[in-house]
Amino acid sequence: MTSTIVTAAILAIGDELLSGRTKDKNIGHLADVLLLSGIDLKEVRIVADEQDAIVEALNALRKRYTYVFTSGGIGPTHDDITADAVSAAFGLTCEHDAEAMRLLAEMYKRREMEFTEARQRMARMPKGARHIANPVSTAPGFIVDNVYVMAGVPQVFQAMVDNILPELQKGSHLLTRSLPCPYGEGDIGTLLGAIQKAHPETSIGSYPKYDGQRFSTELVVRARDEAKLDAAANAISDMIRGLDAARAGSNPGPEA
């Protein structure tokens, strides 16, 4: 069995995401979509509308992962600087794209609105970039190499994600199995560590929950091979049964 590993990062751009004024909706949406495509989301960054910050994050992420998806900063106002920053990161000139100008001019003519200088900013992108169609408000996103630049408005972002999805390389689906566990991490930590060591081709996550009184955990096994997933999940179920039996030991019930 061969498996294809495809990785991704999300770079969300915008002061409003850092000031707490806007709760981001794009990261969660794209994380879910990537999971279904077998693409491993490995890192998320949120940066301000500052060119240096965007360039640095973009150059770090695009060299490290198969894909980088950005959101925000491609509108018509002075604080929309993503096109300039992406151009700078790739050493390309940022210019008014002829096809984008045509699409936008047509749309505004149809709507009897002026195609202002500000609106023309939305046609700017790195020279040679490919478009991402925007069925909501026309102004396209764009693709340079492995970087997909999309709008921040959630309806537009999601429409753009739908449009790029068919061209993305799919990864082998990561199989996951979730096992609720009534014991806290302190009770299971040593045993669980041993299970992880014995099943190296799986990844076992332990997520503590606290109900205000006591801790329990949710244990999640991930693997690309179903037999290996089963083996690790079975070992965890055995561990939980063993702890149940030990707890019941001094007070056996009718079936014990």
| Four-point Cα dihedral 120, 161, 205, 229, nearest 10 | -150
Reduce the secondary structure of 180-219 to three states and give it as a string. EECCCHHHHHHHHHHHHHHCCCCEEEEEEEECCCCEEEEE
Distance CA 197, CA 209 (A): 24
How far apart are CB 176 and a second copy at their closest, in Å? 8
Q: How many CB atoms lie within 10 A of CB 127?
A: 12
119 to 158, contacts with a second copy by CB under 8 A?
119, 121-122, 136-137, 152-153, 155-156
End-to-end alpha-carbon separation of the chain, Å?
42
Q: Candidates 59, 101, 179, 215: give the one binding a second copy (CB under 8 A).
A: 215
Q: Candidates 59, 76, 95, 146: give the one binding a second copy (CB under 8 A).
A: 76
Distance CA 245, CA 239 (A): 10
Contact stretch for a second copy (CB under 8 A) within 89-97, 123-131, 190-198, 238-246: 190-198
How far apart are CB 144 and a second copy at their closest, in Å? 23
Contact stretch for a second copy (CB under 8 A) within 84-92, 111-119, 231-239, 241-249: 111-119
Interface ranges with a second copy (CB under 8 A): 15-23, 28, 31-32, 35, 41-49, 53, 75-80, 108, 113, 116-119, 121-122, 136-137, 152-153, 155-156, 176, 185-190, 192-193, 196-197, 203-210, 212, 215, 220, 222
